[in-house]
Amino acid sequence: MEILSDPAVIWFLIGLGLLLLELVLPGLVILFFGAGAWVTALVCAITDINLNIQILIFLLASLLGLVLLRKYLKNRFFSKKDEEAQDQLEEFIGKKARAVDAFSKGEGKVEFKGTRWLARSSEPVSEGQWVTIISKDGLTLNVKPSP
């Protein structure tokens, strides 16, 4: 039990707890405090420093990591999905498609880039008519007749 009184072990366990907490509460903030605790554990393992200096090292390492790396890591791991979704929408919105069949109850099929899609329209659409894609809901295109 003497090992649990070693400051390096205590800081390591605090860091481990914070990193595990980041898995439960993602937001890429707690991660840096866990890393700061591990930096403090490393310094405590190398030198013998008092508690005030340990807390100072913990705060400096955590806040520096947070300020310098959070935006980079967040962009690297989390924002690509939003960009890809926007790129996919731009591929559809405003483009023309041809109705494969008539839309009798507001739903039918259109052909866009060689692929048939389920489509909805609030206005009647006849077979072979050109339509403009106004939005996309999953695998269904919302269209309106082209002028």
Query: Which is more confident, 90 or 8?
Result: 8
Question: What's the pLDDT score for residue 79?
Answer: 61
The residues, ordered by sequence, that sit 6+ positions from 61 with a Cβ below 8 Å of its Cβ are 35, 36, 39, 40
Residue 125: the pLDDT is 85
Residues 30 and 26: their CA atoms lie apart, in Å, by 8
Q: How confident is the model at residue 87 (pLDDT cuts 50, 70, 90)?
A: low
CB 41 within 8 A of CB 9: yes
Mean of per-residue pLDDT scores for the chain: 87
Of the candidate ranges 17-21, 86-90, 106-110, the one whose mean pLDDT is the lowest? 86-90
Residue 84 scores a pLDDT above 80: no
Q: What is the pLDDT of residue 106?
A: 79
Contact 118, 143 (CB under 8 A): no
Beta bridge partners of 125: 103
Q: What is the pLDDT of residues 50-76, one digit of tens each?
A: 999 999 999 999 999 999 998 888 877
Average pLDDT over residues 83-98: 72
pTM, entire model: 0.55
Domains annotated on the chain, with CATH = 2-78 (no CATH), 88-145 (2.40.50.140)
pLDDT recorded at residue 117 = 87
Find out whether 15 and 31 touch, Cβ atoms under 8 Å.
no
Average pLDDT over residues 22-29: 88
79 or 98, greater pLDDT: 98
